[in-house]
Copies of this chain bind each other. A is one copy, B any other.
Amino acid sequence: MDFEPLGLATDLVILTVRDGRLQVLLIRRGIPPYRGRWALPGGFVRPDEDLETTARRELAEETGLSAERIHLEQVATYGAPDRDPRGRVVSVAYLALVPDLPAPVAGSDAASASWVDATDVLDDSGRLAFDHHRILADGVERARAKLEYSPLATAFCPAEFTISELRGVYEAVWGLPLDPRNFHRKVTKTRDFVAPIGTTTTRDGGRPAQLFHRGTATTLHPPMTRG
């Protein structure tokens, strides 16, 4: 077989929740095209490298987060013939959800990587290079949808978290406030969503809160409801 010239890349939508806001990791491009513009982290797939392997490698290079337990999933593939001025480059987008850990951007490969408010970027469709605005929009929408029917919000949390911290994740990702009492009832009544540790914490102030860890569920019955 001989093939047409074509590049294959992966781009990453790396999301976290910091200071109660949904943030995305962006890098400032140091080389053309789109030099000086913000872009999603990404890179070319190496020969004999699986797509997800490429994505995990990029994730590690850009963030220092090499842990296998980071949630990573494929979102979509973008292949418009003119999406990259260098030639035909098809990009497979992945979504990564990471907890708000210390030293996240440290050890990063890209010259200048930083966390940016996702809503700010989404509001300005010209801010990102290539078709990355669309990729980001699709990634964020995927995350919002998954929070409804999967326990994935816990991927944004440390291993042990309170119900309020989990609520903060939902509020940040969905961008709307939730009733603390109904949220508490819903989460604790949904089978295997979270399981109590038995200990409490006062790190959020106020009355000590129970600590929980992720449950065993892969799908939420019934789902959480947005708006």
* Chain A residues within 8 Å of B, Cβ to Cβ: 1-8, 45-51, 74, 76-77, 79-81, 86-88, 90, 92
When distances are taken between beta carbons in the complex, the residues of chain B under 8 Å from A49 are 81
CB distance from A227 to the nearest CB of B (A): 10
**Do A77 and B50 touch (CB < 8 A)?**
no
**Do B48 and A79 touch (CB < 8 A)?**
no
Residue from the list B2, B8, B46 in contact with A8, Cβ < 8 A: B8
**Do A90 and B8 touch (CB < 8 A)?**
yes
Supply 14 further A-B pairs (C-beta < 8 A) apart from A3-B8, A3-B87, A79-B92.
Answer: A1-B87, A3-B6, A4-B8, A4-B47, A8-B8, A8-B79, A47-B81, A47-B88, A49-B81, A50-B79, A50-B80, A51-B79, A51-B90, A74-B77
CB distance from A149 to the nearest CB of B (A): 9
CB distance from A153 to the nearest CB of B (A): 19
Complex: A90 Cα to B81 Cα, angstroms: 16
**Do B2 and A5 touch (CB < 8 A)?**
yes
**Do A50 and B1 touch (CB < 8 A)?**
no
CB distance from A79 to the nearest CB of B (A): 4
Complex: A87 Cα to B3 Cα, angstroms: 10
Interchain Cβ contacts under 8 Å between A and B, 10 examples: A3-B6, A4-B8, A6-B8, A8-B90, A48-B81, A48-B88, A49-B81, A50-B79, A51-B77, A51-B90
When distances are taken between beta carbons in the complex, the residues of chain B under 8 Å from A80 are 50-51
Residue from the list B3, B45, B51 in contact with A5, Cβ < 8 A: B3
**Do B86 and A1 touch (CB < 8 A)?**
yes
The 7 closest A-B pairs by CB, nearest first: A51-B79, A77-B77, A48-B81, A3-B7, A4-B47, A1-B86, A77-B92
Query: Which residue on chain B has the smallest CB distance to residue A80?
Result: B50
CB distance from A86 to the nearest CB of B (A): 5
